[in-house]
Amino acid sequence: MTDRTGPHPRRRVPGWGACDVCYAWGSPCGRLRSHGHPTATAEVTVKKVLTWLALAFVVFYVISAPESSAAFVRSAGQALGNAASSLASFFESLA
């Protein structure tokens, strides 16, 4: 078995390779470790990019228009408060 010296510790991935001793960076038997489905990786990447873009848009909106941002948060808070009081009165009427 060859010894790899580097920043990554050996992480055993059972079931991969002819000798059943494979690591995240490869295997001593020379067979490469199988990677996940390529579209799954692409979906995760797209999800991350869209999340960061949405966060950047929110930050830009708050910086460029703080008064309207505050009004939006205030109205959203009032809507949540009204919904909570409506649910409370619904459950009171059940008892």
Q: What is the pLDDT of residues 79-92, one digit of tens each?
A: 999 999 999 999 99
Give CA–CA dist 11/26, Å, rounded.
Answer: 10
| Percent of the chain's residues with pLDDT above 70 | 58
Q: What is the pTM of this model?
A: 0.45
CB 33, CB 22: distance < 8 Å: yes
The distance between the two most distant Cα atoms of the chain, rounded to a whole number of Å, is: 73
On the question of pLDDT at 32 being above 90, the answer is no
CB 34, CB 16: distance < 8 Å: yes
Give CA–CA dist 11/21, Å, rounded.
Answer: 10
- State the chain's mean pLDDT as an integer: 76
